[in-house]
Structure 1
């Protein structure tokens, strides 16, 4: 391995950048739909050796000295995000005549931008670089800070955070009940990069021992938590039906098809329960499943009342409209409606975190004058965001914490209302992205929110993946991608043994501080030995 490490360290110019790109591309295998976390045990050591060989010219200014490291980090990130997010371009092909021109921006431009965070990670690490265990700590610290920033800067986009690679299955998800994603990102990079020490000798035993202990504790805690009794159903039990209609996105956008789309949902709602089981108490439709403004269509509410049995409740995604005042344009919200068996809307929740360029247009005054519009919002001005996230209270008193579409990828935005809810409710429409890794990655990240909050999750998606996940992230029932149908089950209960958000934040900064000090002391010792 020392020979391989030496050859990688000696790379320069385009060769070094290309190998960094390939290492990032390889890391994608650690994310869904592959889940081969071992891939990161190969790519991260390669990244360490590439940084070893990118010290920069000491005669130049600070930025020029960091340039080789920045280029390595950016190339690694570009490979990672290009390989992990190429499927975003599929959304632009739904209405290709309007949006196909933007394919390069989505498929190449966004990965190129996100790669700047990994360039920052490697630059931070390079500033603390040494010749032993300290450089592994430096890399972990750099990625921990960069991924933390990626979670909220420019509205945030923590999709495929590096820590998810260490959590491909429920057994390896349980640490998320104690640590936040930012901490797991940092520790994951330390564990994945530690094998690089084998080739360079110094600090290998200590570094590998720490990595083995961390990885072993991660697995052992998972075994322990899954060995505990499964969460018991709520009392009285609540039976849920997930409706997965598999409606083509182009059809949903066709005004002539709106009525038939609505009837497809109604037909699935009334499908008989398999094996004579208990009829569902709650029926859940996906995001924007009602293909028109429901409050402008009383006949639709009457149809819903016709198909619901006494006591049943429909939870459905819809566009909600609100009058802003005389002379002002109406506001539109991406919402969830709760509709009772009399066809009355008895609850609603609006989306808080909208998708930029998808549901609204940033800098709208300027960009709209250039003829641009939001991809997934056909109404003028796009959607408006809700000011806060409110619990949904269902008839009978059960409460849901609503997460619409990609709101489920933001763990730091789940507020103090979540512990008050009986379950998480995630509705989405991943049909925009076709049968690609996107819907699998989205489901995986949503799954982690159940573990973090100790709450079961009800998830309904237009084309999939629809599922009910228990409070440990274990799949109870699900419908695979492009499987049209319904599934019914009793909703599992909640767990109370999770760390609160404030404590998770303190743990992150404490561990980040320890790792930073290890890197600093190693750097100081390295400089003393060198001089």
Structure 2
């Protein structure tokens, strides 16, 4: 069966590609219609069949435009409200980003057409998941990576959820591509066996849902309060707004001091440099140590290191045990993976003239170490990350330890307003808790503040855009999930296996062709 023909209706397929790409976003939070992921992937696979390579590229690129333009439109809110650029420039930046991300589906389809142009079965079920895994890996690495909206996350409430603690989110994405290929193969060939195979694949992993990869440690249950200040990001860096912000967080926290073991404030909750707030931090530290409560907060730290001025997005612990707070303490976390244009400027010298023309002030942060010690807080080991870092699967796993009691994520999603961004962020954080088998404390400035248990379920939450405190008893867990042990090596082993099957198939076809040629001769 050939995959290249000139008989097609150009605009109908292109328009349908945009629609099926956009449909894929319905599988992510806050919609959570997980079947939409299969519809979207099947649409991409089906629409690029039986057409020229150039036309398939147009379809794949358009599918990417539909998927990413609807899925990450929330970034425009941040750019438009806080960048200081004209509206036309903000729109241009969004177009550039969406166009760049849409290149990855285009690359995927082009490689598929080049490497497997004939066999429909191999193309849809064997080669497609391999190439999708590779192109998504590249999307998560090139230019620091943007691995947002990977389809595996859509199964946090879906039937493939049980694969996450076994092989991780990327393995779920791999299986979704196989399932979408089987759907398209069934439609194209009318072979019911392909549909039955898809059902069997889903049923085979169903027992994983009942498997528990961790152990609850109820004797170490801890009282935790997560404070959601709901302060405005546009104002919080204003010096005049500093005292009001600190008063908000201290007022909300006051009833819980002495009554809970941990109080958690979100990313950059203290809107000033740590060096400038030494009196405030030491006064609070003295009070907290007397009453037996530890405060964990985000703050910006600027200091000279190795003859360089370094600024870090930081998490510190105050009132922790018997030792007073110290600016020199190493019991802190420094953000490692920085957000382009938000926390550092790629090609800074090239872009300096552009940003200076519009008087745009973009902070330039320094990177923390890739591997960092856990925070030692009130006798517990917390594995912290800041904001965007929670979506980096391999990085989270590499910093995970057997002695980890909780995962901790601090964020400030107020930059993205009332959009899908914070919901998608929470969905990805839930997957990390499920993969690693640990409860996750999810602290944000204006929501969604939540506590996630080791199965990825949100057990407690605060509504968005509300000043409030979430208090709960959280049970730590112990043990290692298979994914915590081997990380993404498992899915890459499967990828190599599928690649080997494809190469064997090519070899068999080549040998058969060679025999035919010898007979003809």
Find the partner of 1:253 among 212, 231, 237: 237
Where in structure 2 are there 5+ consecutive unaligned residues? none
Contact 1:128 1:520 in 2 (8 A): no
Q: What SS does structure 2 have at the residue aligned with 1:320?
A: strand
The residue aligned with 2:336 is 352
The residue aligned with 2:315 is 336
Note the C-alpha offset of 1:523: 6.8
Q: What SS does structure 2 have at the residue aligned with 1:383?
A: coil
Find the partner of 2:268 among 266, 279, 288: 288
Find the partner of 2:19 among 5, 22, 29: 22
What do the CA deviations read for 1:45-88 (whole angstroms, capped 9, x no partner)? 3222212122x2xxxxxxxxx32222222211121111100110
Q: What SS does structure 1 have at the residue aligned with 2:72?
A: helix
Counterpart CA distance in 2 for 1:101 and 1:205 is: 52
User: Do the aligned partners of residues 232 and 337 (structure 1) sit closer, same or farther apart at CA in structure 2, a change above 3 Å counting?
Assistant: same
When the two chains are superposed, the root-mean-square deviation of aligned CA atoms in Å is 3.1
Contact 1:287 1:427 in 2 (8 A): yes
Note the C-alpha offset of 1:214: 2.3
The residue aligned with 1:406 is 388
Matches within 5 A, 1:381-530: 382-419=364-401, 420-500=403-483, 503-519=486-502
Greater shift after overlay, 338-347 or 508-517? 338-347
Contact 2:237 2:272 in 1 (8 A): no
The residue aligned with 1:236 is 220
What do the CA deviations read for 1:5-59 (whole angstroms, capped 9, x no partner)? x9x99534333222211111111111111111112332333222212122x2xxx
The residue aligned with 1:150 is 139
Give the total of aligned pairs: 502
What do the CA deviations read for 1:220-259 (whole angstroms, capped 9, x no partner)? 322x13xx59853454322111011111212213221111
Q: What SS does structure 1 have at the residue aligned with 2:266?
A: coil
Q: What SS does structure 2 have at the residue aligned with 1:292?
A: strand
The residue aligned with 1:69 is 56
The residue aligned with 1:59 is none
Note the C-alpha offset of 1:515: 2.9
Contact 2:156 2:431 in 1 (8 A): no
The residue aligned with 1:63 is none
User: Do the aligned partners of residues 393 and 168 (structure 1) sit closer, same or farther apart at CA in structure 2, a change above 3 Å counting?
Assistant: closer
Contact 2:165 2:213 in 1 (8 A): no
Note the C-alpha offset of 1:394: 2.6
Counterpart CA distance in 2 for 1:357 and 1:424 is: 27
What do the CA deviations read for 1:306-364 (whole angstroms, capped 9, x no partner)? 763621100000001111466x5x31100101111687245211000000111010111
Contact 2:160 2:202 in 1 (8 A): no
Note the C-alpha offset of 1:117: 1.1
Find the partner of 2:36 among 16, 34, 39: 39
Q: What SS does structure 1 have at the residue aligned with 2:156?
A: coil
User: Do the aligned partners of residues 116 and 305 (structure 1) sit closer, same or farther apart at CA in structure 2, a change above 3 Å counting?
Assistant: same
User: Do the aligned partners of residues 293 and 493 (structure 1) sit closer, same or farther apart at CA in structure 2, a change above 3 Å counting?
Assistant: same
Contact 2:213 2:437 in 1 (8 A): no
Greater shift after overlay, 94-103 or 193-202? 94-103
User: Do the aligned partners of residues 390 and 158 (structure 1) sit closer, same or farther apart at CA in structure 2, a change above 3 Å counting?
Assistant: same
Note the C-alpha offset of 1:99: 6.2
Q: Does 1:177 align with 2:161?
A: no
Q: What SS does structure 2 have at the residue aligned with 1:414?
A: helix
Where in structure 1 are there 5+ consecutive unaligned residues? 1-5, 57-65
The normalised TM-score by structure 1 is 0.86
The normalised TM-score by structure 2 is 0.87
The residue aligned with 2:291 is 310
Q: What SS does structure 2 have at the residue aligned with 1:94?
A: helix
Counterpart CA distance in 2 for 1:376 and 1:29 is: 35
Counterpart CA distance in 2 for 1:373 and 1:431 is: 27
Greater shift after overlay, 440-449 or 106-115? 106-115
Q: Does 1:264 align with 2:252?
A: no
Counterpart CA distance in 2 for 1:363 and 1:317 is: 28
User: Do the aligned partners of residues 230 and 453 (structure 1) sit closer, same or farther apart at CA in structure 2, a change above 3 Å counting?
Assistant: closer
